[in-house]
Amino acid sequence: MSAQIKPQNSLEDYFELERTSDERWEWFNGRVFCMSGVSPTHDQIEGNFGFLLRSTLRDRDCRVFAANIRIKVPAAPPYRYADLSALCETPVYEEIGGVEAVTNPSVIIEILSPLTEAYDRGDKFSYYKSILTLQEYVLVAQHRPHVSQFLKQESGVWKQTEVNDLDASVYLPSIECKISLNDLYAGVEFGPAAPTLVSPEEFVR
């Protein structure tokens, strides 16, 4: 679904929209984008991942946040929406413009839409790196079994690994959780990828 784009808006206008709308919106350099609406495949993978995380972490003091939870991103104020995020400590929230945003996720997960992959791997990841508590960033492809995982090393360098075998698993050390790709992609029929779109101001989910 194409992101709906509204004309120039002040932050005050944006916060009012967030408080009164049932949709999810992001503010970027004065422009407001509707983040609601994804493909059935995106929804399936996101639902699978969220269920697997919650099932695995249910007996631990961890939290899994869905796509409607705001995340404070210092490098891209006021906040962003991720498909999923999680942490295994006490959540810390900050009220921004009259709404609450979580400030301390350990892992952020994005389900890649082919038309937004360049943005998710590029500018958006750069913004997310400004979250001091973030230890890993996970990107999940829709059109084939493929997970890209970025782990923050003690040196501050991010190490990338790839998993592309349905019989394999991905381990998330920040929350000590192992996810099978067979389970992650349950119910998904793979198809051809669409062309990529590099402009973050015209992204389509």
Q: Note whether 52 and 184 are within 8 A (CB).
A: yes
On the question of a cis peptide bond just before residue 78, with omega within 30 degrees of 0, the verdict is: yes
Global pTM? 0.86
Which two three-digit tokens encode residue 182? 């067979």
Q: What is the pLDDT along the chain (205 residues), one digit of tens a residue?
A: 334 445 567 888 888 888 888 888 888 878 887 877 788 999 999 999 999 999 999 999 999 999 999 999 999 999 999 999 999 999 999 999 888 999 999 999 999 987 778 888 999 999 999 999 999 999 999 999 999 999 999 999 999 999 999 999 999 999 999 999 999 999 999 866 554 444 444 443 4
CATH superfamily, domain 39-190, is: tt1808, chain A (3.90.1570.10)
Number of continuous H segments (helices) and E segments (strands) in the chain: 5, 15
- For the chain, domain boundaries: 1-37, 39-190
Number of Cβ within a 10 Å radius of residue 56: 17
